[in-house]
């Protein structure tokens, strides 16, 4: 008899009830080649011990054909991320700690606008590791990565060409008025699907906004920055173009606010936005025109 499917919305029930073999049988071959049945069952049993029931917390679709689901245990100490294909196969399962921090309760004193014009997509962002891969790291915990998409795709044409990406060359705006305290403008943009870890921020701008708050705009296009250290900018001023420099494998804009001018030693601050509630992964946002 053919096995009945574990539908995405039912995953937490079957996992909580110990249906590990049934879940495993629905995973794709690549997953099974990396982890055998016995190993998976042993790991799942150990992870679920005394966890109670797993409840669905978030779900989203970041790319065509794949939808991700986050399940959290009763005490919100553990989480499972599951990726399903449109065909109902389980592409991946990850067990993890569900982290929360006291800094989540605080927001920036200043309010900030979105640092772009037109429509952008939140690739990573939110106060949750599922929504935001930056979240475990204090220096960039509340950072955002934004891309541009059309018909569900980030590019049109040859994905090996930077110019094919909708984000590449798009205007980057000052999220709030302030003084420019650092500019790096000469890092070469990476070809798609490569990265430069020796200069993680790539071309970037750091702006001081008062109240010990600084914004970082990173992975900018080489030689596109139009401001210099010491300049004063107004909210919404066009100051650069989105690029693919630094620790970036496809064009996107990294934005976060921090309590110092050094992005490696400062603490990230949860951002208060002027236009809206706090964006999170999967949102499409409309930026206002710049100046």
Per-residue pLDDT tens digits for 61-120: 888 889 999 999 999 999 999 999 999 999 999 999 999 999 999 999 999 999 999 999
Q: Around Cβ 2, how many Cβ atoms within 10 Å? A: 4
Tokens, residue 189? 């943009």
| pLDDT range class, residue 276, cuts 50, 70, 90 | confident
CA 67/CA 184 separation, integer angstroms? 37
**Domain 102-287 fold:** Glucose Permease (Domain IIA) (2.70.70)
Q: Where does the chain hold its CATH 2.70.70.10 domain(s)?
A: 102-287
pLDDT for residue 277: 87
Model pTM score: 0.90
Q: How far is CA 50 from CA 20, 74, 75, 93, in A?
A: 16, 10, 10, 20
| pLDDT range class, residue 2, cuts 50, 70, 90 | very low
CA 125/CA 141 separation, integer angstroms? 9
pLDDT for residue 135: 96
For 190-194, 259-263, 277-281, which range has the lowest pLDDT when averaged over its residues?
A: 277-281
CA 165/CA 121 separation, integer angstroms? 13
Mean pLDDT over each residue of the chain, to the nearest integer: 95
Q: What percent of the chain has pLDDT over 70?
A: 99
Query: What is the architecture of the domain spanning 8-97?
Result: Roll (3.10)
């Amino acid at each position: 008899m053919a096995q009945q499917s574990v539908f995405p919305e039912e995953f937490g029930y079957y996992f909580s009830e110990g249906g590990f073999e049934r879940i495993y049988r629905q995973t794709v071959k690549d997953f099974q080649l990396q982890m055998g049945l016995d190993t998976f069952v042993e790991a799942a049993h150990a992870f679920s011990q005394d966890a109670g029931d797993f409840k669905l917390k978030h779900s989203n679709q970041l790319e065509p054909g794949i939808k991700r689901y986050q399940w959290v245990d009763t005490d919100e100490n553990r989480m499972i991320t599951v990726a399903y294909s449109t065909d109902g196969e389980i592409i991946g399962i990850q067990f993890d700690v569900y982290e929360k921090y006291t800094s989540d309760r605080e927001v920036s004193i200043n309010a900030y606008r979105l640092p772009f014009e037109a429509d952008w997509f939140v690739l990573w962002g939110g106060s949750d590791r599922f929504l935001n891969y930056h979240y475990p790291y204090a220096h960039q915990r509340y950072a955002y990565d934004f891309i541009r998409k059309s018909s569900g795709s980030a590019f049109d044409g040859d994905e090996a060409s930077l110019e094919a990406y909708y984000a590449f060359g798009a205007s980057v705006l000052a999220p709030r008025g302030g003084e420019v305290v650092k500019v790096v403008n000469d890092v070469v943009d990476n070809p798609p699907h490569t990265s430069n870890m020796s200069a993680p921020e790539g071309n970037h701008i750091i702006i001081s906004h008062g109240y010990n708050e600084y914004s970082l705009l990173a992975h900018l296009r080489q030689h596109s920055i139009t401001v210099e250290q010491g300049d004063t900018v107004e909210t919404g001023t066009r100051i650069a173009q989105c690029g693919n420099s630094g620790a970036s494998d496809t064009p996107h804009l990294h934005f976060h606010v921090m309590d110092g001018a050094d992005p490696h030693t400062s603490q990230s601050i949860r951002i208060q936005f002027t236009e809206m509630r706090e964006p999170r992964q999967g949102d499409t946002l409309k930026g206002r025109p710049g100046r």
